[in-house]
Chain A
Amino acid sequence: MSAKSDLPQGTLDLLILKIAALGPVHGYAIAQRLQQVSRDVVQVPQGSLYPALHRLENRGLLAADWKETETGREAKFYRLTRKGRAQLESEAASWQRLTEAVGLILRLSEGGAR
């Protein structure tokens, strides 16, 4: 099995929202950040990043502006909307619950084997 794993369904949106919550950021930077922060564990196909960004923008969770980067190029910067922040909080909380529950179950089955 590869050291890098695919993202579970639906988590890409959550990660994008989380990164955008830190401040306005463009698509390429999001891709970079995802890779760096997850220490290359999370493999985000760059191709699916943009459709996800457009979908989130379309749902009003992200807003976008064209701004200049430090290198002087024009880029599309995404930022979290109020609605996006609420969505992020509720999704992060439910993710938290889910992982805890999954962890509990995994530990329980280990105990049962002993």
Chain B
Amino acid sequence: MIEMLDHTADVGFELGASTLEELFGEARRALLMVVFEHPPEEGEEEAKIRLSAPDRETLLVRWLNELNYLIQDTGFVPARAEIGIRESSGAGYALQARLAGAPLLLEEYGWQGEIKSATFHGLKIVDSDDRLHARVILDV
């Protein structure tokens, strides 16, 4: 579930999913919805990401910032992702993802503008009614 937030100064979204991997998948989709009017849904190029973080929220911020870097700085748009997240007791969380991506085509995808960073503002991944929820604000 993705709900775009109507934020005066910046942009953001609410996410909902059954698992952590799904939540991070929704975060990817939401980022593309912020950055493009018509984001690609398929891609021929491949990329792999490995990230770790002490907690879920930091992992989510790192994930979004890594995807943002791929889009803006390498011209790779992550159209699909297979995500695995592992929790190690005492060592935090580790993410591995395989991405299928498309080259950055600004006009075709309807580029909406740069993102500076995902922020920690009000960010908390909450477990509620067997679902995970998160609210993310991006600095534009």
Indicate, yes or no, whether A interacts with B.
no
